[in-house]
Amino acid sequence: MKKILIVDDEDKVRRLIKITLSIGDFEILEASTGEDALKITREVIPDIILLDIMMPGKLDGYDVCRSLKEDSDTNAIYVIMLTAKGQKADIERGAAVCADDYFVKPFSPMELLDKIDGIL
């Protein structure tokens, strides 16, 4: 079973994504901070991470993505930034930290599901 980690500080966003993904055969993991995301990722090694940018704590989504992509144990994980930050500079910063894809909230749940199906 493929593992997907949803990282977002908003419970309702995690719930919406979880419901969207429930039609697939995925193990869903959740984190609400960057620190928790790194801890879970290093323990479980998910196949895909859906990563918000703005989160409480010391690490934002850019920091998490950079850390994962610099680590040989986690750099192959497909990271999709899923955020309200949709300006050109935000998207370029996502590319600079090696995010594999970038979805701007509000997003189409079916488009996200299609993307995940294409990756896996």
Selected from 1.20.120.420, 3.40.50.2300, 3.30.2090.10, 3.40.50.300, the CATH number assigned to the domain covering 2-111 reads 3.40.50.2300
Residues 42-93 pLDDT 10s: 999 999 999 999 999 899 999 999 999 999 999 999 999 998 888 999 899 9
Please tell me the distance from the alpha carbon of residue 114 to that of residue 109, in angstroms, as a whole number. Answer: 9
| Model confidence, pTM | 0.93
Taking residues 16-44, report their average pLDDT. Answer: 93
The band of 41, judged by pLDDT with boundaries at 50, 70 and 90, is: very high
Kindly write down the DSSP assignment for every residue of 53-100, as one continuous string: S--SSS--HHHHHHHHHHSTTTTTSEEEEEES--SHHHHHHHHHTT-S
Q: Domain-by-domain residue ranges, the chain?
A: 2-111
